[in-house]
Chains A and B, each alone.
Chain A
């Protein structure tokens, strides 16, 4: 069964303290892996799409990487405004029941204290 597991569930950092969020996945074949940011009471906001192992993408203080089994979202020198829940999702190759729909992890809630 295709699934996505994110860890840790919650992460508290001091401003400027770099860290990483993990997204491990098991799918029959990966078409794409997505990272979203979600603020409380709002819809998820797209951050990155990764397609193949070894790929990396960056945006401001965020950098996403991908291996054959997991993805990391690295946060460098975070600021309080980076506080949010970060969601990982995968799109599998199979066109069976999922029809290429996204499978989401439960998210990592990040809190950055000044």
Chain B
């Protein structure tokens, strides 16, 4: 079955530590996205990538970094510069950025600070 796989489901970060969230898709989509979801808030865009080896900052990119070396993969690193990392992180994809098409979402990663 085609879809988006996020791992791990739960992740804990120690102070000063960088952690990486995995996102893999087998939908053959060009565009991939990372969102952050906090309780009572809408999804906020962190980074997005329209094509391999290219990505752009979203609305809240500070303290995060990404890479897009393969079409299937779009990992997100939460760096120690992100002072409030506790949130639910969602990865999504669609065929091409800008198209009026639905986003396909993964099942999310809950990141907490120890």
Contacts and interface: CB of A to CB of B under 8 A. Distances in A.
Interface string B33-56: 100000011111100101000001
B60 interface: no
Nearest to B90: A43
What bracket does the count of chain A residues touching chain B fall in? Answer: 20 to 34
12 contacts: A9-B40, A41-B88, A43-B4, A44-B105, A49-B102, A99-B48, A99-B56, A99-B97, A100-B97, A101-B33, A101-B45, A105-B42
A113 interface: no
User: 4 closest Cβ contacts across the A-B interface?
Assistant: A43-B105, A100-B98, A104-B42, A32-B100
A107 B42 contact: yes
A106 B108 contact: no
B43 A87 contact: yes
Contacts of B105: 36, 43-45
B56 A106 contact: no
A34 B108 contact: no
A31 B100 contact: yes
B97 A102 contact: no
Given A99-B56, A100-B97, A105-B42, A46 B108 contact: no
B107 interface: yes
A32 B98 CA distance: 11
A107 B45 CA distance: 16
Contact of B41 (A4, A103, A106): A106
A3 to B, nearest CB: 9
Given A41-B108, A100-B97, A46 B41 contact: no
Interface in B85-105: 88, 90, 92, 97-105
Given A95-B98, A107-B42, 16 more contacts: A41-B108, A42-B108, A43-B92, A43-B108, A44-B105, A46-B104, A49-B101, A89-B43, A99-B48, A99-B50, A100-B97, A101-B48, A104-B43, A105-B42, A106-B40, A106-B41
